[in-house]
Each structure stands twice: as C-alpha cells, then as structure tokens.
A and B are shown apart, each in its own frame.
Chain A
C-alpha cells in the first residue's frame, strides 16, 4: 500500500515542523489550505479525511473519523 499525506495547512513552516517532529516516512504534498487543488478535487476541506483508492484506480472508501481510518487500515493489512 502507498500512503500519501496531503497537508491542508496554510502555514508551510508549521507543516514542515510537524512532519519532521513525527518523522512521517511517507511522501507529503503541501496543498496550501482550503483552496488547495487536491482539497477541492476531493472535497476535503476542514476535516481530516482519507480516500482509499483500489488497485484499479477507483475510490474504495471515504474515511472520515480517525477511528474509522484505523479500522480500515487494520482491515486492509489483515486482508493481504
């Protein structure tokens, strides 16, 4: 599985500090806040949301709450 982080921060330095502090190993995209292109493309403003994309490039799931994300990832790792 490939994880891509998309930051909806408006403050780039705050985002960079958070990435290095948490030493996140997956690639990150800085989208620049509510008007960012990926935020608009996926209607992801405001809330922490994750989009799970299957191997065929289709949307498999839209995950809204943090607990739901944990469940979805655990399920996915179990399936492999």
Chain B
C-alpha cells in the first residue's frame, strides 16, 4: 500500500486536527490543508516507506472509532463469548472493500458497490473483538457556485440570484463496526456518522448492520439498545465531567434554550449568562441535548474527543424519554474512543 492511497483515505475520513496528529506521530510532512498534504504524500519521488506500517495501523484504528453514531446493547457474558467465538471463526467473503482495507475505495470504484454491509475484517485485540463491515452510502453536499463556474448562458439566466448553490449526492465507503469487548456489559454497534449525514441514514445503517450481524452469526443476541437519555442531565450536573460545549434545555418559564460555547477550555456550566439564568429560576432546567468534550493525554499532546447526546424538546417532555444514540467524534483512535465509552458506562451504572 502506498502513502498516497493512505493519505487519500485519511482525507476521506479524518477531521483535520486528527489527521495532523497522525501525520505528526508518524513523522510525515503536512501541507496547508488536506489537498496539499495528499499532494505531498503522493509524490513518488519521496520514500515514505518508514511510515507505511504506522500510518496503516492508525488508519485502521481510526476506522474502528472515528466519527460514529453508537448504540449500546446489554449482553450477558455467555452471549458475548458465543458472539466472539462465532465471529473469530467466520469466513470473510471476498470483496473489493476487503482487498483495499484499511484503505478506502474511491467514489469511482464505488459505482457498483453494495449498500448492504459486507464483512471485511475481524479485529482481535486484548480489549475485545470488532467485526468491521463496509458498504456504500451517500452524503449530500451543498456547494456555493460562482457565475464564472457556470456556462455563459446559464450564468446570465441566473444573474438575478444573489447566491447559487449546487447540491449533489456523493457516494462514499462507510465503515461500520460491531464491537464486543472482553470486559464490561455492552456490545456496541458503531455506524459511520460524518458531518453532513442525515440522522435517518444512520438509523437505517444501524438497523441493517444489526440484521446482517444476526444473519452472520445465525442468532439474535441484541435486544433493545440502552436508553441514554438520563445521561444528559447526569453528565451535565457532574461538574468535573469534561467540558460542556453545547446544551439545549427547557425551563418551567416555558422557554427553550440552545446554548453553544466552543472556546477552548471554557465550559457552559460556568458561563456567566448560563449561571445567571439558572439562578433566576425556582426550578431546575431540563436538558435534552448535550455535547461534552474531554482532554485525553497522548504521548504527543492530547486529543479532545466529543460526545453528543441529541434528544429533542418533544422527547424530553414525554413521560419516558428515550435516546438510544451517542455520537462520538474527534477521536484519534481507540484510546480516546474507549475513554468516552467508559464514561458512558460509568454514568449508566449510576442512573
């Protein structure tokens, strides 16, 4: 596998800060943005062999945990063991996805690809077993267009408009994972959830992956996903738990608020307006949407993984609000991803 192919796959998946850390860790040069970086790393006159193995491992690890929508299922130890044993012995079907893994297929190569998840790898580690599936999914892209990008007649016809936006669906290779840890009570289904993907697409992906898993192991080990709604209030109230960067909540004064604050190191819990508003109320606020960030140390600095628990005011007002999805972003690898999952499990044990 060449560095250019790895770089293109990284560009397709990794947020820029994560990609930069991976490149730095592997002593690879960086350009001004992904385009220039991929250009540099695709230069065949330069020998990057020293970094191929490390970068391949980092890419593989990122595929298991980068930008995912996660559902957790409580599964007994005997059932987890049975699932693990079956997956460790399953035969991987031939596919172009599998041949390229961990590199990703380009949009052109995906033209005839399947939207059904195809098993491409079983990753076995000290922490547990992960079954990796690939499929073709679409992402909607909106791009502003300038008149000089359009044919002359078209530009004239559209000259009355202040803004012209092009919409296109882009095919990409989605990588979804079923994770069975050796310790803990939960099996996780992680589907790709890049920025710009509609939640309904992830919902369908979750359902398809679960169906495919059942078909593969010829058993149904997963019942209902765990309800994560109680974690929104619990994590918000835990003053030393990460940094709250987004919070939506209702008040008994019949108001809905949506606050965001992503300035480095500042937490919404401590923000003057937020505290002042709460102090003016006789009843607690009722959070229904939370984004929380942690700092996880690495050998070369730190990463800032983020957990999103996104319910709605409507669900929040119901007698028994349910939220099954956790959106986990900006992880560099399994270390920070597992950290976030452990925090979720910690709070689940206490609600």
Co-complex (A, B)? no
